[in-house]
Chains A and B, each alone.
Chain A
Amino acid sequence: MRALFPRLGVAVLIGLVAFAVFGPLINLVIWAFAEQWFFPNRLPSQWGFMFWERVFRPRAGAWEALGNSVGIALATVVFSMALAIPAGYALARLVLPFRHLIMLVFLLPQAFPSLPIFVNIAAMFYGLGLNGTYFGVILVHSLPGLVYAVWIATAAFAATDIAMEEAARNLGASPLRTFRDITLPQAAPGLMAASIFVFLDSIDEFTGTFFVGTPDITTLPILMFNAAMGGNYQIAAITALILLIPSVGFMLIIERFLKSDVLARIGR
């Protein structure tokens, strides 16, 4: 009897949190299947898959946008990690006098309001002919992506034991071989986490794509924005649900690979 009240409390709490998290999602799902929904009504007056057909019609561009989104996200991951792995290793290992300053500088783009930054980047990219190119969009997506990637990679490398590297060197491994065989496998969960963060961030990215990519490159968030601006909530909702697919897929990978002890060291 005494145990019931705390249990009830926990249940209510979980319910509230679930509502806060899933409430908007439920609204989204309803919109995705509503064919007619006018203002005072609590629920749509007509349900159906009509808008799904519309979205997935070849000429609607949803498939192309999905391909763009995933392709750009993967390229952003490769690009960011290619920079973040050496940078993170250097930050974690070499005794850099301004290590903390450098880490802080990496955070700066996040501290600024993103809009003016992207407007400036768009102007710059225009001069360089990068506007409307995949490479330009990937660069823009890598900007916030690199922040995550460098921070998490630094934490992951800092968590690996230098003595293990020294043991490998001592027993005959060259520095590069040591990095490949000893350091990288140790840091792998952290680097995996960094990749996932970069991927999710890129899949979601809107502002930068809007200024640098449109109208030549349409990603799912852009498609959704256009639909919502046109008052077409059904299409916006369906696009959002499609956006969930790669995100949820990567969340599952997080679950498999992410160790909490790696997360705990982030930012050290």
Chain B
Amino acid sequence: MQSTSLTLDNVTVRMGQNTILDSISLSVPQGSFTCLLGPSGCGKTTLLRAIAGFAPLESGDMAIDAVSIAALPPEKRQTAMVFQSYALWPHMSVAENLAYPLKLRGIDRASRARKVARILDLLDLAEFGARSVASLSGGQRQRIALGRALVIDPPILLLDEPLSNLDAAIRRNLRSELRQLQRQLGITTIMVTHDQEEALSMADTIVLMRSGKIAQVAAPEALYAAPVDIDAARFMGVENFITTDSGEMGVASDAACFGFRSMSASICLHPLAGHLNRKAVVIDSAYAGDSYQVLVKSDGELFSARSSTPQLAGAQVILCVPADALIPFGADKNCLIPTDYRTPGRTLS
């Protein structure tokens, strides 16, 4: 199976007056699984469409294995895209949908049938070849759309939120199925998602995007532990930011503020060693399944934390955050954890 690397070099896409993608440079290694992650409207779909050839470049270049594809029409690019809406062809049966890309490549009927049967097997849909597309469930459609892209052995697979239309249980299932399939085929894959959990669990590398620009490129662990700045941290689920003197918890630092996730903060009665401790008043407490989500106020600022027991509103407590859960940010809002820690592909274990 051929698999290839993709390089984007200062890709800029404009629609009307708006710059949708602003100087995107990215290198996607061969056989890797890359997630494009970012808030709604940041240009993830547009970037994927630009790679597939549906959004003309204003400037910049993109190359597959160092050969520029920027001037090629979509049908010449050999990138296989799975659309968010699946875009299966309703006037063709499941097998015909899968066979059509092969037909376009002039492959004879017998080999077509063989390849389609193999893909249906791979997708665990062997009995469905003759069915009409309209009679399939959402999860089955998703798999057919994936199969239709895979049947041509594409060098690059592009997935636009392929799991977002499905309910949570199927989604978790398909997540690991998709990842396994990708590893098995060794196919270079770029997947759009705005679900950070999905990106963290699937990607080799996550590209965090923000209003048409790349904010950070990092391995999931690095992105989670060291988001590049405060906005990125907020997007990665860091809800609390606390301004503090660096001496307060015994860590020398020139941080202007620290961020932490509520699930790493706890409510205590006494200060703990090796923790940032703050006197606080309980504002509200809500059951959150395995524990209680507690909202507290300290020095006029609101923080949220977890507690194993419900807390009474108005109670005087201590907010305790372990030092290693604190993410330091400088006065310029940038993360102070050194950048080499954030380079893609590096595992932290």
Which of A's residues lie within 8 Å of B, judged by CB?
A: 161, 163-164, 166-174, 177, 181-182, 185-186
In this complex, the member of A164, A169, A172, A177 whose beta carbon has the largest number of chain B beta carbons within 10 angstroms is A172
Question: Among B79-87, B303-311, B312-320, which stretch is in contact with chain A?
Answer: B79-87
18 contacts between A and B (CB under 8 A): A161-B85, A163-B87, A164-B87, A166-B81, A166-B83, A167-B88, A169-B74, A170-B52, A170-B53, A170-B75, A170-B77, A170-B79, A171-B80, A172-B105, A173-B75, A177-B104, A182-B89, A186-B90
The answer to whether B87 and A181 touch across the interface, beta carbons within 8 angstroms, is no
The answer to whether B91 and A167 touch across the interface, beta carbons within 8 angstroms, is no
11 new A-B contacts at CB < 8 Å, known A167-B88, A170-B77, A181-B100: A161-B87, A163-B83, A163-B85, A166-B52, A166-B74, A166-B83, A167-B148, A170-B53, A170-B81, A172-B75, A186-B90
In this complex, the member of B87, B100, B148 whose beta carbon has the largest number of chain A beta carbons within 10 angstroms is B87
Knowing A164-B89, A182-B89, A186-B91, say if A169 contacts B75 (CB, 8 Å).
yes
**Which A residues are CB-close (under 8 A) to B79?**
170
Q: How far is the CB of B148 from chain A (nearest CB, A)?
A: 7
The answer to whether B91 and A172 touch across the interface, beta carbons within 8 angstroms, is no
Is residue B138 contacting chain A, with contact meaning CB distance below 8 A? Answer: no
Among candidates A161, A163, A171, residue contacting B148 with C-beta atoms closer than 8 Å:
A171
SS class, residues of chain A in contact with chain B = helix
**Shortest Cβ-Cβ A-B pairs, 7 listed:** A171-B101, A163-B87, A167-B87, A169-B74, A172-B104, A185-B91, A170-B81
Cα distance, A45 to B188, chains bound together (Å): 89
Which of chain B's residues 42-86 have a Cβ closer than 8 Å to chain A? 52-54, 73-75, 77, 79-81, 83, 85
Which of B's residues lie within 8 Å of A, judged by CB?
A: 52-54, 73-75, 77, 79-81, 83, 85, 87-91, 100-101, 104-105, 148-149, 152
Which single residue of chain B is at the shortest CB-CB distance from A181? B100
Cα distance, A135 to B81, chains bound together (Å): 49
Among candidates A167, A172, A181, residue contacting B83 with C-beta atoms closer than 8 Å:
A167
Knowing A166-B74, A166-B83, say if A172 contacts B89 (CB, 8 Å).
no
Which single residue of chain B is at the shortest CB-CB distance from A161? B87
The answer to whether B100 and A168 touch across the interface, beta carbons within 8 angstroms, is yes
Knowing A161-B85, A164-B87, say if A170 contacts B104 (CB, 8 Å).
no
Cα distance, A166 to B152, chains bound together (Å): 16
Cα distance, A173 to B103, chains bound together (Å): 10
Among candidates B53, B73, B81, residue contacting A167 with C-beta atoms closer than 8 Å:
B81
**Which B residues are CB-close (under 8 A) to A177?**
104
Q: How far is the CB of A17 from chain B (nearest CB, A)?
A: 35
Cα distance, A68 to B77, chains bound together (Å): 52
Among candidates A166, A168, A173, residue contacting B54 with C-beta atoms closer than 8 Å:
A166
In this complex, the member of B53, B75, B152 whose beta carbon has the largest number of chain A beta carbons within 10 angstroms is B75
Cα distance, A174 to B76, chains bound together (Å): 9
**Which A residues are CB-close (under 8 A) to B148?**
167, 171
**Which B residues are CB-close (under 8 A) to A173?**
75, 104
Which single residue of chain B is at the shortest CB-CB distance from A177? B104
In this complex, the member of A166, A169, A170 whose beta carbon has the largest number of chain B beta carbons within 10 angstroms is A170
In this complex, the member of B101, B105, B148, B149 whose beta carbon has the largest number of chain A beta carbons within 10 angstroms is B101
Q: How far is the CB of B51 from chain A (nearest CB, A)?
A: 11
Among candidates A164, A172, A174, A182, residue contacting B101 with C-beta atoms closer than 8 Å:
A172
**Which B residues are CB-close (under 8 A) to A185?**
91
The answer to whether A171 and B85 touch across the interface, beta carbons within 8 angstroms, is no
Which single residue of chain A is at the shortest CB-CB distance from B154? A171
**Which A residues are CB-close (under 8 A) to B104?**
171-173, 177
The answer to whether B83 and A171 touch across the interface, beta carbons within 8 angstroms, is no
Cα distance, A112 to B189, chains bound together (Å): 59
The answer to whether A174 and B75 touch across the interface, beta carbons within 8 angstroms, is yes
**Which A residues are CB-close (under 8 A) to B89?**
164, 167-168, 182
Cα distance, A258 to B305, chains bound together (Å): 61
Cα distance, A168 to B74, chains bound together (Å): 9
Q: How far is the CB of A13 from chain B (nearest CB, A)?
A: 37
Which single residue of chain B is at the shortest CB-CB distance from A178? B75
Cα distance, A172 to B89, chains bound together (Å): 15
Which single residue of chain B is at the shortest CB-CB distance from A182? B89
Which single residue of chain A is at the shortest CB-CB distance from B104? A172
Cα distance, A164 to B54, chains bound together (Å): 13
Cα distance, A128 to B77, chains bound together (Å): 52
**Which B residues are CB-close (under 8 A) to A167?**
81, 83, 87-89, 148
Q: How far is the CB of A175 from chain B (nearest CB, A)?
A: 8
Knowing A172-B104, A173-B75, A173-B104, say if A166 contacts B91 (CB, 8 Å).
no
Q: How far is the CB of B324 from chain A (nearest CB, A)?
A: 46
In this complex, the member of B53, B77, B81 whose beta carbon has the largest number of chain A beta carbons within 10 angstroms is B81
Q: How far is the CB of B165 from chain A (nearest CB, A)?
A: 13
Q: How far is the CB of A187 from chain B (nearest CB, A)?
A: 10
**Which B residues are CB-close (under 8 A) to A166?**
52, 54, 74, 81, 83, 87
In this complex, the member of A169, A173, A177, A182 whose beta carbon has the largest number of chain B beta carbons within 10 angstroms is A169
**Which A residues are CB-close (under 8 A) to B74?**
166, 169-170
Cα distance, A177 to B100, chains bound together (Å): 11
**Which A residues are CB-close (under 8 A) to B90?**
186
Cα distance, A171 to B52, chains bound together (Å): 10
Cα distance, A161 to B90, chains bound together (Å): 11
Which single residue of chain B is at the shortest CB-CB distance from A165? B87
